[in-house]
Amino acid sequence: MIGKLNHVGIATPSIDESVTLYRDVLGCDSITERFALPEQGVWVCFVNLPNAQIELIEPYGDDSPIHGFLAKNPKGGQHHVCFEVPDILAARDEMRAKGAIVLGTGEPRIGAHGVPVIFIHPKNMGGVLVELMATPVGAH
Ligand code: CO
């Protein structure tokens, strides 16, 4: 059911410091400006790779869900992986039918790429928080 790997989400206490790593150490020359997603409590910045993205996420506001992750991983680290799916509602229903736990109400939210996303609880996913996103229009 899943399609392309769209991005790997990396939580960081400082997008600015992480950008330094990806730009100056790893040598990536295509990194977006940061922008805020207040409803999701994150600052976001994309590191563009030839085949996928790294999504840098930094807490935005006191209620950010990233604070808990950074409390356990103070330097940051891999937070989630995101796969594209052709139909987000069908994907949600299929996940539930297979016993996966869809976070929140299960209603897709608009994610950092401007398309609907859902998240699957890591406890039934081998410890990996999985994001499923509708394939962006015109992406492939
Ligand atoms: Co993501």
CA 77 to chain centre: 12
* Residue 140: closest CA among 24, 19, 6: 6
pLDDT at 140: 54
What separation in Å is there between the alpha carbon of 10 and the centre of ligand 1? 9
- 76 neighbors 13 (Cβ within 8 angstroms): yes
pLDDT at 3: 96
Mean pLDDT by 10 residues, the chain (140 residues): 96 98 98 94 97 98 96 97 97 96 95 94 96 83
Active site residues: 131
Residues with CB under 5 A from ligand 1 (ion): 9, 55, 82, 131
For the chain, the structural domain boundaries read 5-134
Nearest-Å Rg of the Cα atoms of the chain is 15
Measured CA to CA, the distance from residue 17 to residue 39 in angstroms comes to 24
Measured CA to CA, the distance from residue 37 to residue 127 in angstroms comes to 25
What separation in Å is there between the alpha carbon of 19 and the centre of ligand 1? 17
Residues 6+ apart with CB under 8 A from 102: 92, 95, 96, 118, 119, 120, 121
Phi-psi region of 41 (alpha: psi -120 to 50; beta: other; left: phi over 0): left
User: Domain 5-134: which topology?
Assistant: 2,3-Dihydroxybiphenyl 1,2-Dioxygenase; domain 1 (3.10.180)
